[in-house]
Amino acid sequence: MGGVNLDAVNTPRDINRACVWEASARKIGNVHPTASFRDLTYIDFVLAASEIRDLGPIGRGKRISLGDRIRGAVQDTRFTVGTNPNLGIILLLAPLAAVRFSWLASPTTPVQNLSNILNSLTVEDTKYVYEAIRIANPGGLGDAPEQDVRAEPTVTLLEAMKLAADRDMVARQYANGFADVFDFGVPAFVDALAKFGCVEAAIIDSQLTWLATYPDSLIARKNGPAVAEDVRRRATEVLALGGISTAEGRAAGVALDKHLRSDGNKLNPGTTADLITACLFVALRENKVTPNAPFRWPVADWL
């Protein structure tokens, strides 16, 4: 494919595929093809995935700032589905989509390239992202002690994310150079893919691994850190029973799913789902999973 920019060709496809894969997997507590929320359905996530295909810097046909791309993707999503299925996904994928993953395309590694992108963010990027957050109006959004999204920012987007890193796992990725994605989430998915042989089971298994390791930020925002810690403990118990590898683990997972869906889906582990989408995108860009990998997990005793 001489003369063809493979990043321009593949990045939109991988964005869309990562989003659709994540939404299609029957993860506990999340929307999927057979489970909806009052204000969110599976088709909302599929439509939103199409709206953010061009999140990469080349897709919109001109060089615009990362913050402006985030705002535009949120606006496009809001216009199409009228709700917020993907703010966290957009915030995570925007910098990742700007990374050149091929060593043929860049003399630096993806992590080094990403660090350069994050360190180049400006106060203007913060303004655009704050506007995007206000447009999306995510659940559980409270007042921040510093650089609240309702105020005029005075720091760069990276600095703003560092201020929120202790309470939000998406912000934490900006602060630590996406270390949790590259060093924890992607390996967890790849290991599970090798174990189960299909993408859906690998996503479900890695979701349980995330939930057992990190309390979900969305659950904590809506219900408090003690409730998020309780969900983390319950996920650990599912894994202790063998996770989705055993009948006992699957039964415990189904019970945890019912618990998370109680009381109007207030225990939706939405931040974990966003992080998994980022991991899927990186795995696709690094050729750790192929686009035609088997997806469906054929078990009868799951959700």
Chain CA centroid to CA 95, Å: 12
With b for 16 or more beta-carbon neighbours within 10 A and e for fewer, the 2-27 pattern comes to eeeeebeebbbebbbbbbbbbbbbbb
Residue 59 predicted with pLDDT over 50: no
Q: Which range has the worst mean pLDDT, 11-15, 71-75, 144-148, 167-171?
A: 144-148
Summarize pLDDT for 209-265 with one digit per residue, the tens: 999 999 999 999 999 999 999 999 999 999 999 999 999 999 999 999 999 999 889
Query: From CA 293, how far away is CA 12, in angstroms rounded?
Result: 18
pLDDT in tens, 1-56: 444 455 666 899 999 999 999 999 999 999 999 999 999 999 999 999 999 998 86
Residues 6+ apart with CB under 8 A from 222: 139, 140, 266
Q: Of the given ranges (66-80, 130-144, 150-164), which has the lowest mean pLDDT? A: 130-144
Structure-token match 């999340």, residue found: 30
Comparing 69 with 103, the larger pLDDT belongs to 69
**Is the CB of residue 66 less than 8 Å from the CB of residue 98?**
yes
Interval 137-160: pLDDT, tens? 886 565 555 667 888 999 999 999
Question: Is residue 238 helix, strand or coil?
Answer: helix
Query: Is residue 115 within 8 Å of residue 177, measured between CB atoms?
Result: yes
- Among residues 73, 68, 71, which one has the least CA distance to residue 55? 73
Q: Which class is domain 6-285? A: mainly alpha
Residues in the chain: 303
